[in-house]
Amino acid sequence: MNRIAVFPGSFDPFTKGHEDVVRRGLKIFDQVVIGIGINPNKTRYFEPELMEKKVSEAFDGQENVLVKTYTGLTAEFASENNARYILRGLRNTTDFEYENTISQINRDLLDGLETVFLITSPELASISSSVIREIHKFGRPVDKYLPYKL
């Protein structure tokens, strides 16, 4: 039986912190499906198609990493991808409080769906997508925070 995990998020943009969680997750899971969630009620800074392309490039040649966009519930996305696990990174206690609530709801929506939390590597803990968007918006370079070139 393959251990498949989905790594969901808006990934607006996908950062080196996200990449680190996926690479470390591959030591636990046979396959990680990176799910770029599209919420029609939110305005994105980077188009999901661009993120799908760039993230796919970052994992080029790794057959055990898939990159997909999705709408709807993460539990349904997990089910559609035969995943029994959700992979999430935690930078701090605020992340934990939020993610803990979501993980309980996801397990209720899909019986047996477990969430696995990885603590962010210390050198990457300060990186957040919102900060990167702000830096980029003001014309400053952001490539050192991303696993690909924009």
**Annotated active-site residue in 27, 42, 144, 149:** 42
**Annotated active-site residue in 23, 84, 91, 107:** 91
20: number of Cβ within 10 Å? 18
Distance CA 15, CA 18 (A): 5
For this structure, is 149 an active site residue?
no
For this structure, is 42 an active site residue?
yes
CA 87 to centroid of chain Cα atoms = 8
For this structure, is 24 an active site residue?
no
134 backbone dihedrals φ, ψ, rounded to 5°: -65, -45
**Annotated active-site residue in 18, 54, 88, 136:** 18
**Annotated active-site residue in 16, 54, 103, 129:** 129
For this structure, is 18 an active site residue?
yes
Report, as residue numbers or ranges, the catalytic residues. Answer: 18, 42, 91, 129
